[in-house]
Structure 1
Amino acid sequence: MSVEDNPDTQLLLEHTLQDEYDVTVVSSVEEALDHVATDSFDLLLLDINLSEKNGGVELLRTIRNRENIDDIPAVAVTAFAMPGDRDEFLQEGFDEYVGKPFTRDRLVDTIEDTLPAA
């Protein structure tokens, strides 16, 4: 599942990933929480700077505190690209980080590296 509030980035993610993955894209924290409560996901792509009070970091904390879904791998997708940002997001509980703008190859490689081995 991808949580992204920018419609253009939503379309980009869907288009970029649709041939290789079954992608659910939602635009809000509330939608994300509804989906993780009822659906099964192999990976979460979470935008950090959502236009809501609770961004991707807080959403991940909420998900990590829920039973049965606390171990879903999560990738921070963000325009924050300063030195140290990646380490900060990993300390917040993310498994990996992708900076915006991203290439298709970078995104897919990150997803593949983050997904548990089958």
Structure 2
Amino acid sequence: MRPESQNEQDEDRRPKVLVVDDDLAHQKLMSLISDHLFIEVEFATTSGEALNLLRQGSFDIILMDWRMPVTDGLKCTLQIRELQDAQGHRVPIIAVTAHALSGDRERCLDAGMDDYLSKPFTLEQLQNKIQKWLGSSEENREPDSVA
């Protein structure tokens, strides 16, 4: 049996997604669809857990809920950006939230998130957002305009 080449290993590697959400039902949903999306997920229910996981390992993308106990997703994003600035790298953060009022998307982007997806969402919408931000093309890495 021959060892896999680095390219084959890279192709088989599932992107690591950190889901920051205290809603156990949403965590269960993300676990169920992770195989379909060909992603590996880890969960944090608080900003403290998220920061600890980010210090311990690397992630390709972060899905961030807004409403969480103690520290909300906006403040958590600011904390993550401070940590990442100190570490010298930036992981895309997508807001995945039920906050869908006028101005909510802009508040997420102003806090340092890269994109926004309102709940409820379809599997296709989530897949499109993840693929967009995991792609290597910088020109496609702009938040979608509000429809």
Q: TM-score, normalised by structure 2?
A: 0.74
- Structure with larger Rg: 2
Matches within 5 A, 1:1-118: 1-19=18-36, 20-50=38-68, 52-66=69-83, 67-68=86-87, 70-117=89-136
Q: Percent of counterpart pairs with the same letter?
A: 31
Could you say which structure has the greater relative contact order, defined with CA pairs below 8 angstroms and 6 or more residues apart? 1
What is the Cα-based RMSD across aligned positions, in Å? 1.5
Pick closer, same or farther for the CA change 1:26–1:107 going to 2, 3 Å.
same
Give the ranges of 4+ consecutive aligned residues of structure 1 lying more than 6 Å apart after TM superposition.
Answer: none
More helix by share: 2
Question: Aligned residues, how many?
Answer: 117
User: Which consecutive residues of structure 2, in runs of 5 or more, have no partner in the other structure?
Assistant: 1-17, 138-147
**Runs of 5+ consecutive residues of structure 1 not aligned to the other structure:** none
Q: Deviations over 1:19-73 (max 9, x none)?
A: 31111122222211110001100111111101x1211111111111112265111
Distance between the aligned counterparts of 2:71 and 2:28, measured in 1?
22
Structure 1 residue 17 displacement after superposition: 2.1
